Structures are given as C-alpha cells and as structure tokens.
Amino acid sequence: MEHPAAPPASLTRRRFRGAAAATALGAAWSARRAAAAPPRRPNVIVIYTDDQGCVDAGCYGAKDLATPNLDALAARGVRFTQFYAPAAVCSPSRAGLLTGRYPLRAGVPNNVGDKNGLPGAEITMAEVFHAAGYATAHIGKWHLGQAPDTLPNAQGFDHSFGHLGGCIDNYSHFFYWSGPNRHDLQRNGEEVFHGGRFFPDLMVEEASQFIESHKDSPFFLYFAMNTPHYPYQGDEEWLRYYRDKGTPYPRDLYAAFVSTLDTRIGRLVEKLTGLGLLEDTIIVFQADNGHSVEERAHFGGGDAGPHRAAKFSMFEGGIRVPAVISWPGQLPEGEVREQVGHGCDWMPTLVELCGVTPPDAALDGKSLVPVLRSGEAPTPHDVLHWHTGMGPRAQWAVRRGDWKLIGNPVDPVHPDSLTRADELFLCNLAQDIGETRNLAGEHPERVKELKALHEAWLSEMPPEREG
C-alpha cells in the first residue's frame, strides 16, 4: 500500500510531546485554522468492544440479541458491512486503532506481555487530540503495555482508569491466568480498589465524571470495554431474559453479556443527551476482533454469521467486525456502507472530521470521510494487509479487490479442517464469502501476485520483537 507524504501542517513526535505539555497550540497554527474550524470542535468517543462477533448486534441481523442502544446508534449514523479489525487478536488491534498504522509497523505484532508494549515513538490518537487542545481519557481495557513508558498516561491520555492486562474478573478485578493472579485496576498509574463493584458500571461512572468535567470544552474518550470477552458475567436480568427465551448454552451467557454492554453504551449516550452534547459528539463503535471459542469462553457463544472461523484467525470470522460512526446533523443517519473499511482508518477520518493536525507519520489508514458522505464513493483501499505473530509460521493475509490470500491460516472453530495443502489459502470473497474452498491450486498466478505484495509490504516493516 502506498503511504502519502505527511501534510505540511503535521506534527512530529517531539512536537507532539511538547504540545502535550503546553496549554494551547502556537498562535500561527491557531490563526491558520481559525477560519475553517467551527466555534467548538466536536467531542470524540471511541467505543471498542472485546471479542464481539461480526454479526452480534440487532442492527447486523442478530434476531436473538437485544441491542437497542447499538441499533439506535446505527440508526443515527453510518454502519459498515465490510469493516476489518487491524488484527485478529487484542493488543495489535488496539495498536492499529490508536496509531492509524498497521500493528506490525507500530511495533505490536502480537499480544503484549509485561515487558513490551506500544513503543513510545508511536503517536496515538490521544496525543493528536491533546495537541489540538482536547481533554483526553482512556477508560477500560489497555493491553498495550505495563512498563511506565507504555502506560496510557505516557501515550497522550490526561486521565486513565481501567486494567492493563488482557482481561479481568468484573467483580474482583483480578487477572486470573496461569498465576500468580494479580489485582489489575488502576487510575492514572496508581492501584485502586473497588472490590465487588461491577467493572462496566465503574467504567460508565468514570466516563460520566470525565464528560461532566469537560462538558464546556472538547474531549476525546477512548472507552475500551472488556465485554463480551470472557469471563461471561452478564447482568442477572439479561441472563434470565435469555434463559426464559430458551437461548441455548453458551449463547445465553454470551448474549447476556452483549446486552449488558449495550445497556452501558445506552447509559453513556444518556449522559451526553442529558448534558446537551449528543449532537456535538462523534461516536465511533467497533469490535477489536471476532468472537472467541477459547475454553474460558465456553468454546463459543458468539456468531460470525456466514463467515469462517473466529478470534485468532485471518479468515473473515476473525477480522471482520461490526463498525458504526455517528455524528447527528453532520453525517448521514441510518445509512449502510458496503465499501471496505479498516480500524486504522479512524485516525485519519477523525482528524479530518475534527479539523485537527495529523501526526507526522506514515499512516496506513485512509480517511473514510468521502465514503461517509456518499455511498457512491469508492473503497479507499486497493490492498489490505494483516500479520500476527513472529517467524516463518506467523499468520498473515492480504486482500486485493475480492481476492484474499492467507498464509499459515488457522481455524479455531474447525481446527481439523486445514491441511498442509492449505498453507497458502486463496479465496474470492465475492464468490465464496464463507471461504469454504481453497483456490490456490486453481489460480497459481493470483497466489504469486498476492504473495509478492505481502513480501514487499513485509520488507517495509521494522524488525519483529517479542511481546
């Protein structure tokens, strides 16, 4: 993919750091922007859900799920049907979202551990908006590093509340894994304790306080929900609702958690409405990757619809995700876009919509503003790339037009469905949306073309490092 030269008004990393410490941008920059900028720039809220299947919302056709608030958000905005996460797993997906760059380029090839995280040299959305005078907050899951220079407050967020690891129990706020188990709830780098309080409720309370405190000036809020990621801990009333309907296990557990997250999104919107801020706020909603079929997720519950596989996979079920953007009165309402979009696109899209200075970095994302304005606008991407993991067995994919090639594919839903003959898996999505047949043997020239694109792209990437 080609990377356009950075615009003349863009800021370098050093200037972003300086701007983050200042109370305002330079007078010359302000004067240059004043004529075009509205009296007040819009607020921005990015809602990122965790392990939500690509059709798991009523507005995406799920007839067995109650998601009235997500459905209302889609009715007030633009909903995408071919939207891709930057990765099929948590950390790299979040790195792509926050930087507008492919996760491999941003230095996050896989889930991060205790040692590494999002490199400090990367410019995040939070830094971009902070430099433009926005108050910035991260609330929820981080999963981009636990070292001091990788924490949210070091990555452009004025305020941070949530957990640093990949998941927590929603009541004890402990990270339960292979041990030693640890308490993982922090506010601005300091451990805090709210034992017994439901984490999604704590998130809404923290976000509401942040919004209230900054209701008179623009703010950027990254609302990174840990739902419906396991452990499935939905509201009791939603569990009863689905069990009374006869929803089978484990769909009942998952569905209750999806409706639980939907309720919290509704409360966030209610806060905006009560303060008269809804029409002044851009809301982006996206899932980080497909649904999980891990043991801790009861081996499923989510739904990829006609798409193959789930989280961890480069098949569509792992990377195609629900995505909606709403800005009442400024963007179309109740419209659907079939053009291809990507999680890295939100950085340039929001920069353009808000009229703020873009980062001085090679962005892989493309502005979706033309597509948002018109359903007739062309898809902004000629080629898309994914790459997760390290070494020769890393899983990767490239899509050009309707053709998609996957290297070293995995299918956690049907792990025995792939053989050595499928190490390069070619499909045409227009003809086989379920990726049921490997066409590599029938179209060797297409395989050669797409593999060459991947190898050329890979040669541009920085050296891989362990997470």
Alpha-carbon distance of 76 to 81, in angstroms, equals: 16
Nearest Cα neighbor of 253 from 230, 286, 219 is: 230
What's residue 71's pLDDT? 99
Give the Cα-Cα-Cα angle 202, 248, 168 (nearest 5 degrees): 25
What's residue 32's pLDDT? 38
180: cis peptide before it, omega within 30°? yes
- Give the tokens for residue 419: 């053989």
What's residue 390's pLDDT? 84
Active site residue 90: yes
Q: CA 123 → CA 152, 214, 241, 419, distances in Å? A: 12, 23, 44, 41
What's residue 113's pLDDT? 83
Pick the catalytic residue from 130, 138, 143, 342: 143
CA 421 centroid distance within chain: 33
Residues constituting the chain: 467
**Please, are residues 104 and 459 in contact by the beta-carbon 8 Å criterion?**
no
**Please, are residues 265 and 47 in contact by the beta-carbon 8 Å criterion?**
yes
Domains of the chain by start residue, with CATH: 13-373 (3.40.720.10), 383-460 (3.30.1120.10)
What's residue 167's pLDDT? 96
Local mean pLDDT, 10-residue blocks, the chain (467 residues): 37 48 38 48 99 98 99 99 99 99 97 90 98 99 96 98 97 88 96 98 99 98 98 99 99 99 99 99 99 98 98 99 99 99 99 97 98 98 95 95 98 97 98 99 99 97 68
Pick the catalytic residue from 59, 90, 167, 427: 90
- Give the tokens for residue 452: 């060459």
Active site residue 344: no
Is 238 exposed, middle or buried (CB count within 10 Å of its CB: 0-12, 13-18, 19+)?
buried
What's residue 109's pLDDT? 95
What's residue 11's pLDDT? 52
Helix (H) or strand (E) holding 12: none
